[in-house]
């Protein structure tokens, strides 16, 4: 219920930009008994909202800390007298740790609904409430919209520089089958990944993008995104050797001169797998035979590669000959450019994509909003890089809120696909994460 009693003279101004001259009145209270907080009503609509007015609460205030040499009892008293908003989230009953733990849960594959229920149940136990946690995904999905970018900016490596070698890969998630016997039609969405080694040699994800395909145009979009925030160009990219990736590299980084060209390497593990498959399909995989033995050692050195190609030519196998015609020029170039520390495989990318597939496959039909899915993928990327810790994220959230005056820089539920679902055409009800 809105009121304009005597306390209205002390109401704060609306924090929304452009609402400096709006009329603000008291708008009721929220919170549990003993922890009630004042709400205010601004008579101007919030950007993106259809309501003619909106509610808000006062921003966080910063308490005066006790002196560093104060006795313990005085420090404890200062903490006890600190405004409640500083020890919990500004709204509802959720602390910064609750927000962080919910974000960690969805980063590790939990649904928005499951993570939200766990957070609510924890809050109910903390405040000795009688209500049980509700199961819906709005709570944590809102947090993803508000906090994911801040956590990514605080932790993601190589945000404005190029690593020595960039490892890239793409995960294609097929659409869900429409019936028990009907085949899956098309692609649900794809995930592009860029990885590198950090200063400790640990594999980390430094960029991720959700897309609607895996072709040359989608690779180009991904590589342009990498180039947009980093000056210069990478020295080496290790990929899957696809024509789509090769075309995208040439479009994004045109070869102005040989010395400035981006070195695009083909994952040698993939080449070895294909050669083994061909030999296996033709019954040439018996252990100890000259061709199979030469194949196992072919990628060790130039001499081993020459022995394998000579043995393959002796067998005159058409499929193997066609494969060698495509692969031999690539291997000649990569063997000539090899150094002791030159990467030859994207094993870490394949492993990361496998883990990502495990987290996404069962829920792929629930994702329809490209922007929100991209934010969630960034949280997953941080976790796959070993950076997702509830206490650490809670500290980062608190620091970020202090820098922004106690309020997020973005509003919840503002992410929308203005021209329709950006990942695929589906109904709004089908896009709801349950």
In the Cβ-directed half-sphere of 213, how many Cα atoms lie within 13 Å? Answer: 9
> What pLDDT is attached to residue 147?
92
Using CA atoms, how far residue 46 sits from 15, 19, 243, in Å, is 11, 9, 47
Characterize the bridge pairing of strands 166-174 and 187-197: antiparallel
Q: Closest Cα partner for 335 from 269, 265, 275?
A: 265
> What pLDDT is attached to residue 56?
85
Domain boundary assignment for the chain? 6-57, 92-224+366-434
What are 29's strand-pairing partners? 38
Q: Is 232 left (phi over 0), alpha (psi -120 to 50) or beta?
A: left
State the DSSP code for 300. Answer: T
> What pLDDT is attached to residue 431?
38
The H-or-E segment that residue 171 falls in is: strand 166-174
> What pLDDT is attached to residue 37?
77
How far apart CA 111 and CA 113 sit, in angstroms, is 5
How far apart CA 90 and CA 146 sit, in angstroms, is 14
How far apart CA 48 and CA 59 sit, in angstroms, is 22
Q: What is the chain's pLDDT, residue by residue, as a tens digit (434 residues)?
A: 333 333 444 788 888 888 988 999 988 887 666 667 788 999 998 877 778 888 888 765 444 344 444 444 444 444 334 343 334 444 446 888 899 999 999 999 998 889 888 888 887 777 665 555 556 668 898 899 989 999 999 999 999 999 999 999 999 998 876 555 444 558 889 999 999 998 888 999 999 999 989 999 999 999 999 999 899 999 999 999 899 999 999 999 987 655 567 889 999 999 999 999 999 999 988 888 899 999 999 999 999 999 999 999 998 899 999 999 999 999 999 998 888 887 888 999 999 999 999 999 888 877 878 888 999 999 999 999 999 999 999 999 888 888 877 666 665 555 655 544 456 544 333 333 43
> What pLDDT is attached to residue 66?
44
Residue 354: exposure state from Cβ atoms within 10 A (0-12, 13-18, ≥19): exposed
- Note whether 209 and 221 are within 8 A (CB): yes
Angle between helices 138-155 and 370-384 (to 10 degrees): 60
> What pLDDT is attached to residue 229?
87
| Six token digits for residue 64 | 């005066």
| Six token digits for residue 427 | 């109904």
> What pLDDT is attached to residue 185?
53
Query: Which pTM does this prediction carry?
Result: 0.72
How far apart CA 76 and CA 73 sit, in angstroms, is 5
- For the chain, the C-alpha Rg in angstroms (whole number) is 28
What are 192's strand-pairing partners? 170, 209
How far apart CA 205 and CA 384 sit, in angstroms, is 7
Question: Count of CB atoms within 10 A of residue 232's CB?
Answer: 10
What are 236's strand-pairing partners? 263
How far apart CA 37 and CA 337 sit, in angstroms, is 66
């Amino acid at each position: 219920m809105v009121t304009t009693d005597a306390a209205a003279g002390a109401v704060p101004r609306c924090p929304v930009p452009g609402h400096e001259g709006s009329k603000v009145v008291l708008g009721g209270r929220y919170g549990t008994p003993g922890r009630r907080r004042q709400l205010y009503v601004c008579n101007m609509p919030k950007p993106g909202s259809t309501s003619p007015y909106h509610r808000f609460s006062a921003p966080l205030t910063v308490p005066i800390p006790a002196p560093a040499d104060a006795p313990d009892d005085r420090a404890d008293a200062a903490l006890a007298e600190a405004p409640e908003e500083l020890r919990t989230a500004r709204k509802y009953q959720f602390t910064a740790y609750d927000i962080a733990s919910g974000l960690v849960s969805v980063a590790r594959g939990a649904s928005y609904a499951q993570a939200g229920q766990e957070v609510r149940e924890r809050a109910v136990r903390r405040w000795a409430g009688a209500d049980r946690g509700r199961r819906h995904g709005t709570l944590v999905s809102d947090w993803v919209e508000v906090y994911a970018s801040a956590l990514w900016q605080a932790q993601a490596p190589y945000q404005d520089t190029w690593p020595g070698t960039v490892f890239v890969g793409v995960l294609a998630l097929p659409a869900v089958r429409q019936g028990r016997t009907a085949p899956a039609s098309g692609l649900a969405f794809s995930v592009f990944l860029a990885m590198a080694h950090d200063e400790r040699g640990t594999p980390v994800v430094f960029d991720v993008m959700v897309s609607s395909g895996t072709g040359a145009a989608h690779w180009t979009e991904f590589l342009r995104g990498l180039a947009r925030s980093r000056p210069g160009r990478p020295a080496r990219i290790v990929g899957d050797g696809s024509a789509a990736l090769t075309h995208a590299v040439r479009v994004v980084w045109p070869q102005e001169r040989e010395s400035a060209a981006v070195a695009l390497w083909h994952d040698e593990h993939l080449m070895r797998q294909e050669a083994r498959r061909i030999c296996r399909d033709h019954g040439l995989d018996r252990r100890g035979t000259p061709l199979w033995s030469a194949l196992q050692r072919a990628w060790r050195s130039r001499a081993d590669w020459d022995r394998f190609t000579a043995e393959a030519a002796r067998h005159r196998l058409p499929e193997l000959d066609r494969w060698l015609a495509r692969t031999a020029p690539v291997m000649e170039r990569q063997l000539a450019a090899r150094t002791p520390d030159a990467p030859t495989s994207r094993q870490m990318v394949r492993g990361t994509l496998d883990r990502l597939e495990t987290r996404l496959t069962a829920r792929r039909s629930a994702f329809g909003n490209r922007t929100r899915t991209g934010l969630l993928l960034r949280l997953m990327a941080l976790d796959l890089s070993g950076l997702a810790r509830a206490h650490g994220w809670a500290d980062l959230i608190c620091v970020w809120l202090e820098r922004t005056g106690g309020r997020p820089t973005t509003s919840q539920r503002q992410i929308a696909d203005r021209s329709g679902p950006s990942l695929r055409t589906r109904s709004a009800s089908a896009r709801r994460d349950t």
